[in-house]
Structure 1
Amino acid sequence: MFLSQVFMMDRKLATISLGIICFCLLIRITLEQTVGLQSRDERVSMIQLRSSLGLRSRDWPIKSDPCLNWTGVLCRNGRVVGINISGFKRTRIGSRNPQFSVDALANLTLLESFNASKFLLPGPIPDWFGLRVSSLKVLDLRSSSVTGSIPTSLGNFTNLTTLYLSHNSLIGAIPSSVGQLSSLSVLDLSQNLLSGIIPPTIGTLSKLELLNLSNNTLSSNIPPQMGDLRSLIDLNLSFNSLSGSLPTDLKGFRNLTRLDIKNNSVSGSLSADLFSALTGLQSINLSNNRFSGNLPDLLFSLMPELVFLDISGNNLTGLLPNVTSNVNNSRPATLNLSFNQFYGVLTSTLVRFDSIDLTANYFQGRVPDFVSKNGSLIGNCLTNVSNQRNLNDCSKFYADRDLGFDNFGLPNATGPSSGRKSNNKRWIILGGVLGGFAIIVILAIILLILYCITRKKRSTNPTRGGVESVLPIEATPSPSVLNVGEAFTYQQILQSTDDFNEINLIKNGHSGDLFKGILLGNGIPIVIKRIDIPNAVAARKEAYKIELDFFSKVSHMRLVPFLGHCLENEDNKYLVYKFMPNSDLSSALYWKTNSDDDSLQSLDWITRLKIAIGAAEGLSYLHHECTPPLVHRDVQASSILLDDKFEVRLGSLSEVCPQENEAHQSKITRFLRRQTSSSELSTTGSPTATCAYDVYCFGKVLLELVTGKLGPKALVESETKEWLEATLPYINIYEKELVTNIVDPSLLIDEDLLEEVWAMAIVARSCLNPKPSRRPLMRYILKALENPLKVVREENNNNNNNTNSARLRTMSSRGSWNAALFGSWRASDVGTTPVVPKTEGSSFKQSGTSASQGSGNNGGGDRSSSTRRQSKDIFPEPFDVEDGNR
């Protein structure tokens, strides 16, 4: 009894002691958090950082103590140890010229964490950063518009545990100095423009748990030293240009749960040795590579936690393993073996998967009852489902490999010899049929050769390593087209859009309805275009094939990322794109603020110029780097999509087609086109397939960026005429101040930025020249937008003694791009007072000029009536004919 009482007393004393200790710790933590900033140098540094980043007073009030009242500032014992400005907005002044200006961090000697994700820091990371802020443990610069290369000095962050640099524009190679980050557990460099090899020194990061290098342009092999990363849990190398084979040392990843190497060029076999130790894997994605050989049984037998396996789009073959194991059935599992060469019957291995995709293989026999109904089995040799391969394809595949084939359930010998005899009979019959057409085919070839020889004119476009023609489109998509992106199942499409809930409807596009969705499993936001085939007009029924063929041959960073398709439904086809967080230019030009007054905020000028250059890069690629040149035919604000960093991705690509060759059209054809329409429309009502038409439409977009007013739709000629008549007279290469009458009043611009606005307006008007042959080429437009000040500032100062020469703003020494740009402007004599440049046979009315100047060559007649009379020849979208035929 005595002993039990002593024991109870000891327990009470221990409980009281523990409570006292916890109370003391709570008091200490509270005191640490309520102590103001003690270091005067650090306060000065925080004020400098506030100024250089242009942070708002509501976040960092200048008269308050940073440790007590500044949002996102963490202090310990009166010293700054953490700064979090993620998602902060700059002041209006600070947003005019944002830069990577964080010099003040060098004086925060105890700083452990700096988080500037989703806060714009355009510019390179300075070389001194890793040398003078070496106390950092966490550095997060995701989606911060960081440019340049990764400095080698980052290797001095020996205390760093977390490094996020994803979703930026970093270039160059990954420095080998990352191997010095011995404490690093998270390294995310995804969604950049990094190139070169993966440095072998990464293998020295013994504490690394997450490594994400996806969506870059990394090349060469995966270094075998990476097998030393025994703490690694998540490895993502997808969407690069990696080659070679998987190193066998990957079996050292004993803790790995997620392996993603999709969309590379990795080859070799998936040996059992490779995966023998990776029993904890939950997700494997090796799709769209060049793997070959058989599928090891242990992928199913020794991985009970595996819930996602995607090896689609490879050259794998063999029988489907028939194994059962103690699997974890508490979570839904997905299996994708599509677009390989697997054969044989479906086995009980499929029982563990809730969703399967076996599209485009050679599985035969009947589909067992245990196979999930939530999946795709099309394009195989199965007997009791529809949309299978034809009998000849299946028979030939099995006969070539000396395998038995059940002939879709019909009686047939199972041995390889009988299969060959059956095939021989078919080939004899087929040869007889083809022989009857042999002479006709030979004659057709001869006639085609003669026709080519007699052609007088040939295309003058040189080969530039671009794409071949996007057309013609085949009646059914070819295997190469079906390999574009991922082949989603109809069930995946339904789940991602919540059964096409109206809440997820973005808009009703002219080529299909657009829905927002979320891919299950990885949470990626997507946009799904639903094409209703039965209700589509005849010209739109095949539009989805044009896009598939386009994306199978064309790839560029300025095109909307295409993720995949779902074609298994006969009535509806689905195309899947990456979701653009900032929608399109028509929606992003103005947006509602979070304030209670429901006011609007507009894009700043730097962003507008960035958007113009990005769109010009995309169109320049289509016009000048593709063979033959490709015409977008739907260039407008709603076609210019914007990602989270306002980088341009061209959308609305269902109208893209090769440029028409005007040189091959007769004069009669061009005359008829001139008589049938005064706008750039073909006789079918569609835009003409010429690059000049794209340039004209792009000129409207530039005008919208300058004025802040969205113009009318491309094909509304009367409204376009009225809009341009009210705008173009204020664009003059001699008078900068005129453009202020049409500039978006919400833009805050200084004198230098006004010159850039003026330059863009001049480029826009050059694009809107009524004569297609006088519009500048898109590559010249891109050069002009990249060098706006050269458009309006005189480069040659040899004429400084001439008092009137300063008014001529165009460059004196014309290069190719600026000569083409100003080719449509007709400058008056330099020694006289300049007037508004005239388009051929017309004049423009402008403020600030006399009536005699404004009337130009009209003989002093009534200017307003002359403008009305001539405007038809100036403003509408002109037909695309040569000047000589006008």
Structure 2
Amino acid sequence: MSKLPQPFPEVLLLLFLISIPFNVISETIETERTVLLNLKQQLGNPPAIQLWNVSSSPCSWPGIKCTDGSVTSVSLQDMNITSEIPPSICKLKNLTFLDLSDNFIPGHFPTLLYNCSKLQHLNLSLNYFIGSVPGDIYQLSTLVYLDLSDNNFSGNIPPSIGGLRALKELRLQYNEFNGTFPKEIGNLSKLELLWMAYNGFVQMNIPDMFTQLKKLKYLWMTATNLIGKIPEGFANLSSLEWFDMSKNNLEGPIPSRLLMLKNLTNLYLFNNELSGKIPRPVEALNLVEIDLCRNNLTGTIPGEFGMMQNLVFFNLMSNQLTGEIPAGMDQLPVLKVFRIFANKLSGVLPPELGLHSKLEYFEVCDNQFTGQLPENLCAYRVLLGVVAFSNNLSGHIPASLGNCSTLRTVQLYNNQFSGEIPPGLWTTFDLSVLLLSNNSFSGELPSQLGRNLSMVKISKNKFSGNIPVGIGSWSSLTVFEANGNQLSGELPSDIASWKSLNTLDLSGNKLSGQIPAAIGSLPDLLNLDLSENQFSGKIPDNLANLRLTSLNLSSNKLYGQIPDEFDNLAYENSFLNNSNLCADTPILNLPDCSSKPRKLTSKYLPLILSLAVFIVIVTVSLILFVMIDYRSKKRGGDLATWKLTSFHRLDFTEENIVSRLTESNLIGSGGSGKVYKIAINESGGFVAVKRIWNNKKLDGKLKKEFIAEVEILGSIRHANIVKLLCCISSENSKLLVYEFMENQSLDRWLHGKKKRSTTIGTNSIYHIVLDWPTRMRIAIGAAQGLCYMHHDCCPPIIHRDVKSSNILLDSEFKARIADFGLAKMLTRQGEPHTMSAVAGTFGYFAPGKINREFYGSFVVKSICLLDLYIAEYAYTTKVNEKFDVYSFGVVLLELVTGREANCGDEHTNLAQWAWRHYTEGRPEVEIFDPEINDPCHLEEMTLVYKLGLICTSTLPSSRPSMKEVLLFLQRHSRHPKKK
């Protein structure tokens, strides 16, 4: 038998060497799989990474990337992680990329990451980190990308951050830094992006060392409390593309050579105190957006702006600019936003504006322009707003605006326009605001209005003729002011269709006939002025049903007795110059109607009887409750009759709960039962127990609420929704056991009596005011919970009783939505849901049923002055969730004003009161809670106030979705947090 040939020693050595990498890779994969599976467990087994398992390679797992068989990238963003980062993460020896953004990770900056020796990309944004950035952060010397934005970091940014010499991107925006930032950032010679916006630093000048960042492309330092001048050296940063130092206290001139940077595309310096002339942008002809509004800039607009072929956004509003608009501005091919209002500009408007670009916003109000409006503003049919009030413009409204279907607001008041309104303008589908007062317009009113037109002001013009019978189709109006015209004839009873109307002013016309009784059926009417007309007959009695804040029927031909409800000094000027009106008292200086007694007894007898019956029922109910409660206690709660159903792992039994339902543990009571604070272990753990008592009259309703609470909270999980641990049932009682919220409910903090001790948990403390940042975090947290219910649950869930008392706060004031007894799961996503009974709480109720889809009911005093342009919200056909949106809007108004939901003033609830304050054009600061009226937060408070108004719009389709609400709060808060 022949021998097999033996391989040469060199071949054996080669085979051995080839096998080594495969063995190493296999061992590496096995080790890293173990590390990652341990990491998964330590992070609480997030559902999104359930595919991580022992039977597959980590390189194929979601969120994991490998290079040469070794894990180099871990991406766990938006995984609902609530625990701290485990140290084991750095056992991945080749880790270069780590993204843990958009979670709920608590604690201080994770210095354990210093052990990740190859880490280049670190993203910890949108979490709950607190404390300061450590002084030894330079140990992360390999970092190229660092994102700590959208957290709660505070204190100073340490100078040692300048030791991260490899950094190309540094993102620190939206934190709570309240100290200083270091000049040493200027040492980061490779830095291309620096974002530090929306932090409350102490007042600081811009360090000159920042002008050493030669590779810097993007600089964002909005709202960072900067003072002093902008260093001239920024003009030497030739790579600069994006420069934003808005919302600071910068003063002095704009560096003369800043606008000569060839690569500069976006320049934002709005809301400062900059002065002097705008530098000539001789070289910066690549500018795409320029915003220098709300400064003290003087002089003329440089002519070079008319040469910027890439210019899309142009905003110089609210300065002191003079002269004319440069030639060529109407020839720019991509211009969309033209905003120059509130200056001292003069001359005629460029005649071809809108003809050569897709113009969307044309806002030139509060200047001294003469001549006509450009004829082709809507040539591309994308124009959203024409705002040209308070100029010296004349001529007709261009006919093309009557065919502009995209228009949402037209504001031309306080000019010298004349002629008739183009017919199509009245009926434009998207138009919501039409303000034409103080001109010389003529013609008759149309019988049809656009279905979304909510505000029409045509006062002090020359409109004539009758008010058409077809005004019933004007059903979307909230404000109609037509005083000071030449209208005649009778006021049609079709006005009863104007269910959303809150202001009606027809004074100073030639209207006649009787005042229609239908006006008394308008549920939202607050202001009524029919003075200086020729109305006759009696004042309709049902006008007294209205909750009017102003009423003027003076200078007419009315007769008879005024309604008793108006016979007080609040209406002393409401009935002047009506010679045949009378009253029963001399309060209003009207003649005495008669001496016959007023029928107070018959009028109030039903009310008195109702109150008596109510008192009897309440008394009997209390007696029965005491008896039932006593019998229940006497039986000792036979544990054999109690049944426990758990929804989470528990460290207590039903005996722990039932045996401690004593008066000493009682912390609250309400319409459906009592709430107890129960200790479940010796180390200080507590739960909250809601006990629903058995009352035959309420039994069916309470049973439904109990089932709804269990069905919903037992099946959903979210960090901003209160956790239902279990339910315990017996024949006579039902117990719901929740996680205990140390700081109880939001309403106790907002509306507790000042200067008295308030019990919080087991401690008695003096009244503490919630500061604005805390209120903002609560708003975002509650919005996250509702957004999850509306958009992430299948089927969606509507709460139906959102209010400040149902927003609970844990020991760190993190918000939880609670009390789901009225909640409903929508059977099919996107379909309307019929509610069988009235739900909710007074003050948080959305207005009555809406039969039409409507868009844009937000009352816009001046679209120029709104940072929030409401007309840009998308249409929606779903109205069910909008019930919650309205209630949440009331909560936002509570947070801003400190007032209770049902307490606006004598005649209104909070939402109505806030709306009236806005429509009257009064300063927002007047209604802010004086205990938190901090100038540092006025802008945030103003935006939240406006958002509260939008959410409480009368019509559901005018309200945003909770997803839009949450996004807005996150974008405009210094403490944003996604769900």
- TM class by shorter chain equals 0.3 to 0.5
When you count strand as a share of all residues, which structure comes out higher? 2
When you count helix as a share of all residues, which structure comes out higher? 1
TM-score, with structure 1 as normaliser: 0.45
TM-score, with structure 2 as normaliser: 0.41
